Structure 1
Amino acid sequence: MYTDYEVMCKTNIPAFKLRHSIVRRRYSDFEAFRDILERESTRVNIPSLPGKVFTNRFSDEVIESRREGLERFVTIVAGHPLLQTGSKVLCAFLQDPAWDKSQWL
């Protein structure tokens, strides 16, 4: 069992292929995405993700708390001008329903 999160992207930034997209991502996808961003963007301080949860991870409170933390993470990352123009993985993670972390590792 796992939880996945809906990532909705609405943008007018030219670097993004789509103006509106919705994809679903697991927490492990966010971890891989963050690692890839850190490797490709050495000049940018990538924010941390909400911590791993080992108990009650399927409770509504835990899921909502993690969702809020992931939303903060995505908002910061997607709003960073250097990542908007310099990251190869940003647009794919936020918009490609077939995104696969193994393509980037």
Structure 2
Amino acid sequence: MYSVPESFLEIEVRNPQTHGFGRKMYTDYEIVCKTNIPAFKLRHSVVRRRYSDFEAFRDILERESTRVNIPPLPGKVFTNRFSDEVIESRREGLERFLTIVAGHPLLQTGSKVLCAFLQDPGWDKSQWQ
């Protein structure tokens, strides 16, 4: 029988939802975080974020953590951005991005924005500018 690892962090990006109409349309994604790492306030959290939130988060991380090479986000899409294929491809890319970033030991212990982005439902990029 296996026991729970000493420390674990699971990140899942799922359940994309598209909101609005016309030029006001956007898709957001549910981020599920499960961990026992002490830097995280909650053992289990669920929040929703839009792509623009990920862009702001990445910019803040780069400014905050100059010693860490922050991976790129999946690219911007300008055509068919609300198609199922594009949304699923972006979801996979965002999950990969978060898994790499959240798994980095220097960011886990030194980043103020990481835990807030992953766990605070009221996260607001303007608070970090």
**TM-score, length basis structure 2:** 0.81
Which has the larger strand fraction?
A: 2
Larger Rg: 2
Equivalent residues, number:
105
Q: Percent identity?
A: 93
* Residue-by-residue CA offset, 1:1-43 (whole Å, 9 max, x unaligned): 1000000000010000000000000000000000000000000
Q: Say which SS state the counterpart of residue 17 (structure 1) adopts.
A: coil
RMSD, matched Cα: 0.3
Q: Residue 47 of structure 2: SS of its match in structure 1?
A: strand
Question: Which runs of 5 or more residues in structure 2 are unaligned?
Answer: 1-24
Q: Could you list the runs of 5+ residues in structure 1 that have no partner in the other structure? A: none
Higher normalized contact order (CA 8 Å, seq sep 6+, divided by chain length)? 1
* CA distance in 1 between partners of 2:110 and 2:74 (Å): 25
Structure with the higher helix share, 1 or 2: 1
4+ residue segments displaced more than 2 Å: none
Any idea what the Cα deviations from partners look like across 1:35-80, whole Å, max 9, x if unmatched?
Answer: 0000000000000000000000000000000000000000000000
Per the normalisation by structure 1, the TM-score is 0.99
> Secondary structure of 2:79's partner?
coil
3-state SS in 1 of match to 2:32: strand
